[in-house]
Structure 1
Amino acid sequence: MNDYRKIKDIFIEGNKFDYVNLTQSVMAYKKLTEALKKPLKLILLYGKPGTGKTFLLTKLYNDLKKKYPIIFFPTPFFDENEFLAAIYKKIFKQEPPKTDSFDAFFKFFINKMNKESISPITILIDEAQLYPPALIEKIRLMADTRKFKFLFTVHKTDEEDVLAKDYFKTRIWETIEIKSISIEELKLYLEKKLVYHNLFNYLSLLHEPQYKLIHKFAKGNLRETNKLLYKTFEICEYYENNEPKKLNPKKLKSKFLEMAALDLRIIDD
């Protein structure tokens, strides 16, 4: 008998797993580390939601924080003074002075960095598409001082290409895209995930039709893949406890993926 509860739980959102082993992530990570070595002021990592941008930024921060000055802001700022104050506190480990304006604060900030011989700081910014245009403009001015290097992540959506926005289009020095995963990468992802959780024997439940259906419903998106499979195995768990004869212990029936997709409103009736 299969333990669908155990399989289901490995797909809980937020479950830590090394996506970097996937080809797309490996290539993007390598490009990012190379870009950060160059004298670039602004770098952009973009891709559709759920492609692993935040994970890459987090890994990059953890890998580099002991090598040189680096700051990571996983949540967005909407006020320029709060943004600058947060950087100040990260660098100097103290509360910032009170000033009349952003410009006055920034001037004081740069002078203090010069006096204390502070090395240029790399700042990683997630969800940059949520930042107000006025703050993005201030960030560009900060980058112009060569005291700061910024790496943004932004969502690329079907409705709006953020790269077309004026404040990204003309000012980014290097852009790196992380794309949705292919069916082959999906297979590799699920294989590694099951191996990581000592559940490799359950990989035999999935066959080519199921992989194609998962890829179709989740659109090559890791986050949506996890949601879909969590719901699928939750449904299987119900049948295992109530109507076990409707389950095939050697193969995941496609209808359970379809039921999960309906429940998640990925597809219509």
Structure 2
Amino acid sequence: MSKWLEAADRFEERRNSDEYFEVQSALGAIEKIQTLLNGAFRQLIFLIGEPGSGKSFLLNHLHTIWREKRDIILIETPFLTPIDLLKKLLTHKGVNVNGSDMEQLRMEATQLYGATDHLIMIDEAQLLSTEMREFIRILSDSKAFWFIIAMHRSEGEAILRAPHFKSRPHRVIELFPLTTIEAKNYIHSELIRMGFSEIIDEITPKLIAKAHRLSEGNFRNFKKIFYHLFHLLHYTNAHNKAKYLRPSSCTITMAAMNAELLHD
């Protein structure tokens, strides 16, 4: 495999916590969440951000770093009914669930979780049905559960304006776009981690700034540009395309087009 393909593989979209890169807003989010969890008052925590801002990556990272300290449940596909959620919570605690009496299951889950350090994280929560959002609010009102609800910013803000959330205690934590400095640090740290420090000099600050601008600081889109850039450089070098053998403003633009961030 060429060095360019190896580099491309590093920037492929995945949620591997071992590859987590802590940007400032994520560090701040972790600190705020930890402070809330250390408190006695259990409440809903909403994690909001634009698609691609790193919400899913952050939840997976929290699952990895905190699973030895507290009981962590991560729900990545939130197509649940209230009874599904209760059964999932009880099964996670080793309970053999019999029957479907929702009130009985709710009381059992409340008793179990109210006595333990835990964190229930729901990703893509903008996809939850109105019934499920209301049920989570009811569980939260019991003061027995810790929930982190991760949502896209626009949908999340609309949901938070609903009376049954607006009128109850909750905290909102937002993830923000990469800064240009964070973008540069991310690229450099990934290339060094792969042992490709010789490529760093070719990915100049000017090129990183251009990729940052084209991605609008969106972490997922920023990674996409470099994923497509390195695939492009593999192709141009394999086919000796003399004008496009090295990273350049032109190849960054072409990569952004391949990532569908620019159009002809």
Regarding TM over 0.5, the answer is yes
Between the aligned partners of 1:37 and 1:87, the Cα distance in structure 2 is 22
Between the aligned partners of 2:35 and 2:180, the Cα distance in structure 1 is 28
**Alignment partner, residue 263 of structure 1:** 258
Structure 2 residue aligned with 1:233, among 212, 230, 235?
230
- Please say if 1:36 is aligned against 2:40: no
Structure 1 unaligned runs (5+)? Answer: none
Retained in 2: the 8 A contact 1:73–1:126? yes
Structure 2 residue aligned with 1:64, among 58, 63, 66?
66
**Alignment partner, residue 4 of structure 1:** 4
Between the aligned partners of 2:156 and 2:107, the Cα distance in structure 1 is 36
Q: Provide TM-score, normalisation by structure 1.
A: 0.86
Structure 1 residues 40 and 133, CA gap change in structure 2 (3 angstroms)? same
- Please say if 1:24 is aligned against 2:20: no
- Please say if 1:46 is aligned against 2:48: yes
Retained in 2: the 8 A contact 1:24–1:178? yes
**Alignment partner, residue 105 of structure 1:** 105
Between the aligned partners of 2:166 and 2:193, the Cα distance in structure 1 is 40
Matches within 5 A, 1:75-224: 75-91=77-93, 93-100=94-101, 102-110=102-110, 113=112, 118-119=115-116, 121-157=118-154, 161-162=157-158, 164-166=160-162, 167-224=164-221
Between the aligned partners of 1:109 and 1:3, the Cα distance in structure 2 is 51
Structure 1 residues 195 and 160, CA gap change in structure 2 (3 angstroms)? same
Retained in 1: the 8 A contact 2:236–2:245? no
Residue correspondences, number: 260
1:144-198 CA-to-partner distances (Å, cap 9, x unmatched) read: 22221111111114x8744544154443521111101111110011111111111
What is the one-letter code of the residue matched to 2:11? F
Structure 1 window deviating more from structure 2 (66-75 vs 231-240): it is 66-75
What is the one-letter code of the residue matched to 1:211? I
Structure 1 window deviating more from structure 2 (8-17 vs 198-207): it is 8-17
Structure 1 residues 119 and 262, CA gap change in structure 2 (3 angstroms)? closer
Structure 1 residues 151 and 236, CA gap change in structure 2 (3 angstroms)? same
After TM superposition, give the deviation of residue 63 of structure 1 in Å: 2.2
Between the aligned partners of 2:25 and 2:231, the Cα distance in structure 1 is 29
Retained in 2: the 8 A contact 1:120–1:146? no
Structure 1 runs of 4+ aligned residues shifted over 6 Å read none
SS at match of 1:176: strand
SS at match of 2:146: strand
Between the aligned partners of 2:156 and 2:207, the Cα distance in structure 1 is 31
Q: Provide TM-score, normalisation by structure 2.
A: 0.88
Structure 2 unaligned runs (5+)? Answer: none
